Structure 1
Amino acid sequence: MGERALENRVKKLKEIEAQVKALEEQAEALKAEIKQDMEQKGQEEIKAGSFVVRWKTIISSKFDSKTFKAEHEALYNQYARQISGRRFTVA
């Protein structure tokens, strides 16, 4: 692929990423409106036509690896493993 073709693909990628970002922002705004309405009504679940919208409090437990490493560094190092991957960026 030539430099011009690559540049055109990167431009198209950037345009699509901008569209995706705009759509994500619209989706987040709609979610915020729905959540606000549910909160005002004091409901965690609402039926809207053929949809059921739920906004419930979820309690979960997560392992605090940062604190564990600080308090038990040798044990942390014994079980920690390195992983490798590749990152794609366009600057």
Structure 2
Amino acid sequence: MSRNELVAKIEALNEWESVIEEAKAEADALRDAIKAEMLERETEELTAGQYIVRWTSVISNRFDTTAFKKVMPDVYKAYTKAVSSRRFSISA
């Protein structure tokens, strides 16, 4: 791939990522509007035509690694492992 082709691909990628961000922002705004309507109606379930929208509270239990690390640093270290990954980034 030539340098010009690579630059063109990077620029196209930047444009598509911008479109994606705008679409996500629009989707978030629509989601927030639906949630606001549900709050106004004080409901966790709403039927609109063929759709059923649910916005429910969920309780989940998560392990507090920060607190565990403070209380039992040796055990934390014994069960911690290094993981390798690759990160893709483009900067101007």
TM-score between the two structures when normalised by the length of structure 1: 0.97
After TM superposition, give the deviation of residue 74 of structure 1 in Å: 0.1
Matched residue, 1:74: 74
1:40-82 Cα deviation digits (max 9, x unpaired): 0011001111111000011101111111111110000111111
Unmatched 5+ stretches in structure 1: none
Matched residue, 2:53: 53
Matches for 1:1-91 after TM superposition, within 5 Å: 1-91=1-91
CA distance in 1, matches of 2:32, 2:61: 25
CA distance in 2, matches of 1:69, 1:39: 39
Where does structure 1 differ by over 2 angstroms across 4 or more consecutive aligned residues? none
CA distance in 1, matches of 2:87, 2:48: 41
Q: Aligned partner of 1:27: which letter?
A: A
After TM superposition, give the deviation of residue 13 of structure 1 in Å: 0.2
Helix, strand or coil for the counterpart of 2:63? Answer: coil
Identity of aligned residues (%): 33
Higher RCO (CA < 8 A, seq sep 6+)? 1
After TM superposition, give the deviation of residue 90 of structure 1 in Å: 0.8
